[in-house]
Amino acid sequence: MTQIFEKPLYPYARSADQDAATPVRHPVVIVGAGPVGLAAALDLGQRGVPVVVLDENDKVSHGSRAICFAKRTLEIADRLGMGETLVEKGVQWNLGKVFFGDRKVYEFNLLPETGHRRPAFINLQQYHLEQDMVARLRELQAEGAPIDLRGGNRVTGVKAHDDHVALSIDTPEGPYALQADWLIACDGAGSPVREHLGLGFTGRVFEDNFLIADVTMQAEFPTERWFWFDPPFNPGQSALLHKQPDGVWRIDLQLGWDIDREREKEPVRVKARVRQMLGPEVTFDLEWVSIYTFQCRRMERFRHGRVVFAGDAAHQVSPFGARGANSGLQDTDNLCWKLAAVIAGDAPEALLDSYDAERVQAADENILNSTRSTDFITPKSAMSRIFRDAVLDLSERHEFARPLVNSGRLSLPATHDGSPLNTPDALPGGPARSRPGAPCPDATFETGFLLDRLGRGFTLMGLGVQAPQVPGTTPLSVADPDDELRARYLGDAPSALYLIRPDQHVAARWANATPATIATALSRATGATP
């Protein structure tokens, strides 16, 4: 196994900005070149918005870290021009097994809904994702996209002004200063930008430690997700095993609160635990070991004037349910079209407040879900443990109890009900899943898929009716929608018009509408009309 996280991917190189007499002003500066910062750079760069990305490091993240990427993330990656790369490399699984004590209580098959280009999720090491993102960034640069990725650039000071943000940066060749019209902070849970601005980050701390071990196995092991509650090899705690590419398996072992972290990380000790888990006949090697604790918390607001926070810098969740990196990519998906529109002068600055409203709502949903999973996996009282164990006991024989077992819920994108950008639903009988605020469900479309047909701007989709020409929208019409499209977009309605945002969320829908009505909805969806 090559240690891909050892190799510099974007080494420090001197920028002309460092020799400028006065600080150079850039339209957008992104702090942090993790998955969230890189997604923002790709999105804005593809839209022709010049971006500078600063990262104190020059390598992909160390160790596998985020490893589950949900369908919505893959759809976003498709828009960024790299969905196929991820899916080809990633591992897909459908079968999950749940163990309680020394017995398997049940297994489930995800059997995902058909008619979607992308699977429910893939397992892929974060370093692969970051490496692919940097490769995509280089590709865009070669095509002339205005993206400047600067490794070895550590932000040491941030000052927010009414019309710009001033940055102090340290490099291997000494400090320099920069100015940004807009700053996107994607610098992780410990966000230095947040610290520099003295902004709060409050929430709930979970008193628990988890050991992550990436192991390579020389044995045939099924591509399944195994979750143990209270297993013999880790009594009173939980454990998780799932597969990553390159023959690497991720093992998560709950350790409890009162432990000696350094001792638990010793390879001999970790190997003994893993051997107990996999059985004596399985040969394996340790690739990476880490111990983590976690918290569920968020900033009160994600937009502070010209500084916008995204990903873990804005909100932090427990790892159960894969809502960290996945929600971070949804943040930038929500933010970038809005920021590009504001910079182009096509939308008022107030449009950015809808980023705050929508992504705070999503963060709360993610925190709620991941907190509930955590409370199930780590019962906080004697009675919650009694109920948890009762659910697991019943799940072995009774199907009804299985939906109550919570070892992490699938990360699904938020539906922005009540968003200021929505126009009230005007499609009687329309399906709830595609109501205003919802992310568009994918569907088979002609010879491909619907989401691939939605462009970089607003789409006006006509189903069973011709989409009219409305300035600022691209029409997409289907005269005779098939059953799948009907089920996902029409319900009981014979025909419909959908106004779809650049981030593929529904802004408005009607049984039918005049161009004037559609123009009003478009104006609302760009923050111009309340």
Partner 1 sequence: MTRLVLSPNIDAPDNLYADLLAAHEGLSETESAALNARLILILANQIGSREVFRAALDAARRR
Site residues, partner 1 (CB under 8 A): 383, 386-387, 389-391, 393-394, 398, 400-401, 404
**Total residue count of the chain as it appears in this document:** 530
Q: Measured from the CB of residue 402, what is the shortest distance to partner 1 in angstroms?
A: 11
Pick the closer one to partner 1 by CB: 240 or 405. Answer: 405
Nearer to partner 1, 265 or 402 (CB): 402
Cβ proximity to partner 1: between 394 and 426 the closer is: 394
Nearest approach, Cβ of 166 to partner 1 (angstroms)?
Answer: 52
Report, in angstroms and rounded to the nearest whole number, the Rg of the chain calculated over CA atoms: 24
Q: Give buried/exposed letters for 195-221 (b at 16+ CB in 10 A, else e).
A: ebbebebebeebebbbbbbbbebeeee
Residue 491 near residue 429, CB atoms below 8 Å: yes
For residue 348, give the amino acid letter: P
Q: How many CA atoms lie within 13 Å of 315's alpha carbon, on the beta-carbon side?
A: 29
CB-nearer residue toward partner 1: 265 or 409 = 409
Minimum CB separation of residue 235 from partner 1 in Å reads 16
Distance between CA 15 and CA 13 in Å, rounded? 6
Q: Looking at the DSSP assignment, which residues form a beta bridge with residue 315?
A: 298
Q: How far apart are CA 36 and CA 55, in angstroms?
A: 12
Give the burial class of 264: count Cβ atoms within 10 A of its Cβ; 0-12 exposed, 13-18 middle, 19 or more buried: middle
C-beta closer to partner 1: residue 391 or 427: 391
To partner 1, the closest distance from the beta carbon of 113 in angstroms equals 24
How far is Cα of residue 101 from the mean position of the Cα atoms in its chain? 33
Neighbours of 106 (CB within 10 A): 18
Identity of the residue, 257 or 387, whose beta carbon is nearer to partner 1 in the bound complex: 387
Helix (H) or strand (E) holding 382: helix 382-397
Name the minimum Å distance from CB 387 to partner 1.
Answer: 5
> Considering the complex, what minimum distance in angstroms separates the CB of residue 382 from partner 1?
8
Minimum Å gap between C-beta 390 and partner 1 is 4
Please state the closest distance from residue 406 (CB atom) to partner 1, in A.
14
The closest of 23, 32, 76, 77 to 52, measured between CA atoms, is 32
Is the CB of 202 or the CB of 400 nearer to partner 1?
Answer: 400
- In angstroms, give the least distance from the CB of 429 to partner 1: 23
Smaller CB separation from partner 1, 230 or 312: 230
Q: Which is nearer to partner 1, 148 or 396 (CB)?
A: 396
Pick 209 or 378: Cβ nearer partner 1: 378
Nearer to partner 1, 246 or 396 (CB): 396
User: Residue 243, class by beta-carbon neighbours within 10 Å (0-12 exposed, 13-18 middle, 19+ buried)?
Assistant: buried
Contact 257, 208 (CB under 8 A): yes
Q: Is 65 left (phi over 0), alpha (psi -120 to 50) or beta?
A: left
Residue environment code for 311-348, b if the CB has 16+ CB neighbours within 10 A, otherwise e: bbbbbbbbbbbbbbbbbbbbbbbbbbbbbbbbbeeebe
> Could you say which DSSP state residue 300 is in?
S
At its nearest, how many Å lie between partner 1 and the CB of residue 436? 25
Q: How far is the CB of 229 from partner 1 (least distance, A)?
A: 15
Phi first, then psi: what are they for 308, rounded to 5°? -120, 130
Q: Which residues contact 448 (CB under 8 A, 6 or more apart)?
A: 117
